[in-house]
Amino acid sequence: MTDLFSVEIQNIAQRPVLRMAGELTAEGESRLTAAFESLIQASPEQVVFDFSEVKYINSGGISILLNLISRSRFEGKKILFAGLTRHLRKVVEIVGMDEFVQIVDRLD
Domains and CATH numbers, the chain: 5-104 (3.30.750.24)
Tens of each residue's pLDDT in the chain, 108 residues: 456 999 999 998 788 999 999 999 999 999 999 999 999 988 888 999 999 999 999 999 999 999 999 999 998 999 999 999 999 999 999 999 999 999 999 887
State the pLDDT at residue 1. Answer: 43
State the pLDDT at residue 3. Answer: 63
**Residue 2, φ and ψ in degrees, nearest 5:** -80, 140
Q: How far from 91 is each of 10, 56, 57, 84, 88, CA to CA, in Å? A: 25, 11, 9, 10, 5
pTM score of the predicted model: 0.91
**Rounded CA gap, 82 and 61, in Å?**
16
**Rounded CA gap, 78 and 56, in Å?**
24
Q: Name residue 34's beta-bridge partners.
A: none
